[in-house]
Amino acid sequence: MGAASSAPTLPPRRNFQSHRESTAGNAFVVPGAPAVVGADLCVRPLELTASVCAARATHDWSSFRAAKIVHVDVDAFFASVEQALDPRLRGKPVLVGRGVVASASYEAKARGVRTAMSFRDALRLCPKAIVVAGQYEHYADYAARVQRILVDFTPAVECAALDDFYLDFTGTDRLYPDFPATLRRMQQRVEKDLGISVSVGAATTKLVASVASRLHRPRGFGIVPPGAEENFLAPLPVEKLHGIGHVHATTLRERGVHTIGELRKIPVVALVATFGEVVGHQIAERARGLDDRSVHTPPEPKSISRETTIEGGTIDVEFLCALLEYLSERVGTTLREHHRQARSIGLRLRYTDFLSAARTARLTPATNDEKSLHAAAMELFRALYTRRVALRFVGVSVTNLEPERRQNDLFDAESNRRWYLHRGVDRVRHRFGWNALYYGKGLELREHYATKPNGLVLSTPCLSR
Ligand SMILES: [Mg+2]
């Protein structure tokens, strides 16, 4: 595979080729290929010429992009998390799932176990495997922690699936002069901090980057330089292309098409005739390493709210204050995660007789400090909670968000200390989960609520982020 070898290096800039250069002499020799590849799919030469022209017209072949799209994939995600959480499972074959294998550790994969296999078959292949039911909360928590590490390297991180991330490093040449070393550092940091390994692939497109990362798992590492995409893909089996599953691969194999290089020789019209308009074109483009999808980063939030219902309602003011402190803390942490600060805060209450009350206040100066947020929320609470009726809902929200701007305050040593405290607390929680640290009142709440890896299990779980 050459370009994605174990010691990859980016070629010097002068050697970078454009798509036009790389595809001009599009002659791939596929060793051992039959004389007529894909005989069933062949069309007349006139149609072939027309289809190639159409393909060239629809794509910007001359566009130049450096290999700055990076795909990061966690190796055997669920099983790795289970091994990270329980040292007794490390180095042993582990199967996660119920009925069918949702994830298998590499020790189990080495014995032939595959994902989506029934447990009966898997245990026949690997009788000593340890079966774990799996805990989604932990996986979501680890996925969020991986993402936070990736964001430290580039803000353009797209979460494609729970353990699947695309990163865009475009424009970081001066920040990271040694790009491969940066990717290695990123890969090592995830493993050092979280105890789970990731595979990394870099290319000009999402498609090629994801093929490069998945080629040599676990701890895979591959960089495909611009212009080398077609050579890189050519010898690989067609199943390696995203979107070609078992069924399409079988159809292609029946027609004598085994590798991506062979697939590329099939005219687009023939692929359209076999797989339909959309899939046919998609396969033709992917076989050439073409993919115009960009890395989508989620938009910056306009407001952040954390709220919960209280089962049965309560008039226990001390408990309500602790809950407000917890919600303010979550809001503050989320603000800091997004590097934002808020200018307005709002509080919403609902009584057990369904009467509601809400009020907002201005925050001066704008802040993301939970102590200031809590103080403002408490002030609103004192003004709003006037009836002697139990409350069944509380919610804290912040709006008018702006980029975080911090200046060392000469006279307010306390706020400076808190800034450093937050930085430390956030860092510990990023690494060890929310429950690693609690402020005093939060600790009291733990008597009322169960805990999950990233905080308390409030009555409205989807809102207890
Ligand atoms: Mg994975």
Q: How confident is the model at residue 10 (pLDDT cuts 50, 70, 90)?
A: very low
395, 427: one domain: yes
Give phi and psi for 399, each to the nearest 5. Answer: -135, -175
Measure the CA–CA gap between 457 and 454, rounded to whole angstroms.
9
Residue 104, in any domain of the structure: yes
341, 208: one domain: no
Say if residue 7's pLDDT is above 80. Answer: no
89, 192: one domain: no
> For the chain, what percent of residues have pLDDT higher than 70?
82
**Predicted local distance difference test score (pLDDT) of residue 149:** 92
Asked which of 252, 287, 322 is the last residue of a domain, the reply is 287
Give 407's contacts (C-beta < 8 A, 6+ positions apart).
none
- Over range 274-293, report the average pLDDT: 88
436, 342: one domain: yes
CA of 165 to the centre of ligand 1 (A): 10
Say if residue 88's pLDDT is above 50. Answer: yes
CA of 175 to the centre of ligand 1 (A): 28
CA of 198 to the centre of ligand 1 (A): 8
> pTM for the complete prediction?
0.67
127, 156: one domain: no
Is the model more confident about 295 or about 50? 295
Q: CATH number for the domain including 55?
A: 3.30.70.270
CA of 392 to the centre of ligand 1 (A): 41
Asked which of 136, 154, 187 is the last residue of a domain, the reply is 136
CA of 334 to the centre of ligand 1 (A): 26
**Predicted local distance difference test score (pLDDT) of residue 437:** 82
Residue 277, in any domain of the structure: yes
Q: CATH number for the domain including 131?
A: 3.40.1170.60
244, 205: one domain: yes
322, 454: one domain: yes
154, 244: one domain: yes
CA of 372 to the centre of ligand 1 (A): 41
Residue 15, in any domain of the structure: no
Say if residue 319's pLDDT is above 90. Answer: no
Reduce the secondary structure of the chain to three states and give it as a string.
CHHHCCCCCCCCHHHCCCHHHHHHCCCCCCCCCCCCCCHHHCCCHHHHHHHHHHHHHHCCCCCCCCCCEEEEEECCHHHHHHHHHCHHHCCCCEEECCCECCEECHHHHCCCCCCCCEHHHHHHHCCCCEEECCCHHHHHHHHHHHHHHHHCCCCCEEEEECCEEEEECCCCCCCCCCHHHHHHHHHHHHHHHHCCCEEEEEECCHHHHHHHHHCCCCCCEEECCCCCHHHHHCCCEHHHCCCCCHHHHHHHHHCCCCEHHHHHCCCHHHHHHHHCHHHHHHHHHHHCCCCCCCCCCCCCCCCEEEEEEEEEEECCHHHHHHHHHHHHHHHHHHHHHCCEEEEEEEEEEEECCCCEEEEEEEEEEEECCHHHHHHHHHHHHHHHCCCCCCEEEEEEEEEEEEECCCCCCCCCHHHHHHHHHHHHHHHHHHHHCHHHCCCHHHHHHCCCCCEECCEECCCCHHHCC
- Over range 334-341, report the average pLDDT: 89
CA of 163 to the centre of ligand 1 (A): 5
CA of 142 to the centre of ligand 1 (A): 12
> Are residues 395 and 328 in contact, defined by beta-carbon separation less than 8 angstroms?
no
CA of 190 to the centre of ligand 1 (A): 14
Parent domain of 345: 304-463
**Which among 405, 412, 407 has a CA at the least distance from the CA of 371?**
412
CA of 218 to the centre of ligand 1 (A): 10
For the ranges 84-88, 186-190, 225-229, 323-327, the maximum mean pLDDT occurs at: 186-190
CA of 162 to the centre of ligand 1 (A): 8
CA of 200 to the centre of ligand 1 (A): 11
Residue 1, in any domain of the structure: no
Tokens of 75: 């190796």
Residue 284 Cα to chain centre, angstroms: 27
101, 201: one domain: no
CA of 114 to the centre of ligand 1 (A): 13
Tokens of 261: 């290089």
Residue 22, in any domain of the structure: no
Tokens of 232: 């890189």
Tokens of 95: 């199967």
* Residues with CB in 5 Å of ion ligand 1: 73-74, 77, 163
CA of 263 to the centre of ligand 1 (A): 26
Residue 317, in any domain of the structure: yes
Q: What is the mean pLDDT of the chain?
A: 80
Asked which of 136, 157, 172 is the last residue of a domain, the reply is 136
Domain count, the chain: 3
Burial of 71 (0-12, 13-18, 19+ CB in 10 A): buried
Q: CATH number for the domain including 416?
A: 3.30.1490.100
CA of 288 to the centre of ligand 1 (A): 24
CA of 451 to the centre of ligand 1 (A): 27
CA of 148 to the centre of ligand 1 (A): 17
45, 155: one domain: yes
CA of 430 to the centre of ligand 1 (A): 21
**Predicted local distance difference test score (pLDDT) of residue 438:** 79
CA of 75 to the centre of ligand 1 (A): 5
248, 108: one domain: no
CA of 424 to the centre of ligand 1 (A): 30
CA of 346 to the centre of ligand 1 (A): 40
CA of 172 to the centre of ligand 1 (A): 26
CA of 199 to the centre of ligand 1 (A): 8
Residue 4, in any domain of the structure: no
Burial of 270 (0-12, 13-18, 19+ CB in 10 A): buried
β-sheet bridge partners, residue 360: 346
**Beta pairing, strands 69-74 & 94-96:** unpaired
**Predicted local distance difference test score (pLDDT) of residue 247:** 86
> Are residues 19 and 62 in contact, defined by beta-carbon separation less than 8 angstroms?
yes
Q: Which amino acid is at 114?
A: R
CA of 155 to the centre of ligand 1 (A): 21
Say if residue 22's pLDDT is above 60. Answer: no
- Over range 197-207, report the average pLDDT: 93
Q: How confident is the model at residue 84 (pLDDT cuts 50, 70, 90)?
A: very high
CA of 298 to the centre of ligand 1 (A): 21
437, 450: one domain: yes
CA of 74 to the centre of ligand 1 (A): 4
Residue 435, in any domain of the structure: yes
Measure the CA–CA gap between 268 and 343, rounded to whole angstroms.
56
Measure the CA–CA gap between 118 and 95, rounded to whole angstroms.
11
Give 269's contacts (C-beta < 8 A, 6+ positions apart).
43, 47, 48, 50, 51
